[in-house]
Structure 1
């Protein structure tokens, strides 16, 4: 009630001023011949004012009661109906805003849960190389032959880079620099960085095809190529080979990573780029986090490139990055 009175105090004061100003004017032109007539006018005007304010209050009383009680929650008001157009408009607007808020809250909760899941998986991935390094140190093998330790350190570094990339993908535009990139030089640089992985896995990797220049981000496309080569080697048998094939087609430049490994089951193929989806091959081992291909797809979409995956079980997998006609030119 106090909120209602404060809101309409200006109307009451305006009424008093108008009536107080009109009475002398009306009396001066002979409008009231008797005191009773003036009294009747004042009573009628006051009654109409009180009646109007009373009707207005009862139509909006739920809103005033809710606003006057700090402890009340918004849902109590949004679930009600009113005969007053203003209150109904307020409730409809509040419902729309509330639903948007719930949607944003749900998205934030999902993102938080997603990040928590990744941290748990990441910690699990880090435990294996740490355990291997500890065993090598206890046996004294690390001092005689540093190669196994260096391989495990590479795995640790890869997991750290993966976490950083997952965090940076949300602010991708802040870390984007496009330039002319020679795909052959880029691929060979990535292969050079993974020499220990190739030796440890006993898998040979070769870069074939013509040199092609594309307009893209060197660091992010290097991350993509690194992930694709790493996946190909990881699911290849010792003694097999992986080919990085680069070429220019009428529809644009493309880079393919081809392996002859275990392949991807048809039921897994549509979901291999989903976050945390490891598929049948990933569940059979312990090295898959379900993050790499998800990040690859996210990066390529943000760069304006596309990804195509074809595979046959026990025959191998071909993953192709297509750069488009506007980005490719033979060097």
Structure 2
């Protein structure tokens, strides 16, 4: 924001009032003093010269301040401001403000450093905990699978699978802020990715008699196989959550000159139109989540966040009581080093 000359003049009201008072006093003294016979025209000349000097001072001071302000604005827009210094103060008032800003900035930097350190420690603890908790889950699964004579084991295994998915969901959520440390973009068969996702839910598909219909073309996409499998798993988990037993979940791939599209379609309860635009928002459970109490509002948010980071767009369409289609768009020709955001 640039300060205009008229604004500058308004800030100099005290100086102008002082100047006017001094000139009036001098004029009265010169005009009424009997020993000094001064003509009125000479008095006007003195006023004119004094006014010229005043305007010269104000003009020079204005351009000095404007230059300093422009420098500060440039530093601010480039993110340098106080961190790299804002130059020497031109007036005592500027010096006071500079010291105050520096004090506030130092306090802010200390608080920010403390917050970042606390967050780092919390993230390290949570990541370690997630990895540690997966070990007893895996052991519990192994024990139950070996003890098949208990008819309740299948139900317990399903609950363990849900716990495992929840732990993975939290683990992936903590990793998204440091995504660049753990990704590898490669050319991968789309069919391989889809089959890996379907395999994770094989038991639930069988138990609920839900048919898996695959229409996948032999096509290769550029992506990170681990992150894309997790994101697609969230979409399939959501499809299963709101599908009726005996239904069908369909995987369809399409390709054109610009992209490859993978669509996951379920025949579930669908999504109300007023909720469509908000399903990827953090914590949004929507009408279905409130009715069925099965949603946390985290899964789709994390999946969308991951897909954004690997450069894949995701769209969703739905019609209540009929279907929901989630489509992931794999762009062609993405540069390996620029695909990750």
- Normalised TM-score (structure 1): 0.60
The match for 2:101 among 65, 78, 92 is: 92
Q: Which segment is superposed worse, 85-94 or 160-169?
A: 85-94
**Displacement after TM superposition at 1:104 (Å):** 8.8
Query: Does residue 292 in structure 1 map to residue 299 in structure 2?
Result: yes
CA distance in 1, matches of 2:149, 2:167: 22
> 2:273 matched to 1:266?
yes
Q: Where do 1:16-55 residues align within 5 Å?
A: none
Q: Distance in 2 between matches of 1:141 and 1:215?
A: 41
Corresponding residue for residue 164 of structure 2: 157
Structure 2 unaligned segments of length 5 or more: list them: 1-90, 124-136, 336-341
Query: Within 1, Cα distance between the matches of 2:208 and 2:117?
Result: 40
Q: C-alpha separation between the residues in 2 aligned to 1:107 and 1:310?
A: 39
Distance 1:158 1:200 in 2: 18
* CA deviation profile, 1:216-243 (whole Å, cap 9, x unmatched): 1110000011111111121111121010
Tell me how far apart the structure 1 counterparts of residues 149 and 291 of structure 2 sit (CA, whole Å).
29
- Take 1:292 and 1:151, find their aligned partners in 2: how far apart are those partners? 18
- Whole-angstrom CA distance in 1 between matches of 2:113 and 2:277: 28
In structure 2, what is the equivalent of residue 226 of structure 1? 233
Q: Which runs of 5+ in 1 are unaligned?
A: 1-81, 116-129
CA displacement at 1:145 relative to structure 2: 5.2
* Equivalent residue number for residue 217 of structure 1: 224
Q: Does 1:309 align with 2:312?
A: no
Deviations along 1:60-80, whole A, 9 cap, x unmatched? xxxxxxxxxxxxxxxxxxxxx
Q: What residue in structure 2 maps to residue 188 of structure 1?
A: 195
Higher RCO (Cα < 8 Å, 6 or more apart): 1
The residue number in structure 2 matching 1:275 is: 282
Secondary structure of residue in 2 paired with 1:257: strand
Q: Secondary structure at the match of 1:268?
A: helix
The equivalent residue for 1:45 is: none
Name the residue aligned to 1:326.
333
Q: CA deviation at 1:251?
A: 2.3
User: Aligned partners of 1:147 and 1:310: how far apart in 2?
Assistant: 34
Find the counterpart in structure 2 of residue 55 from structure 1: none
Shift of 1:299: 0.4
Assess if the C-alpha contact under 8 Å between 2:190 and 2:216 holds in 1. Answer: no
Aligned partner of 1:169 in structure 2 is 176
3-state SS of paired residue (1:271): coil
With normalisation by structure 2, the TM-score equals 0.58
Count the aligned residue pairs.
225
CA contact (8 A) 1:182 1:212 kept: yes
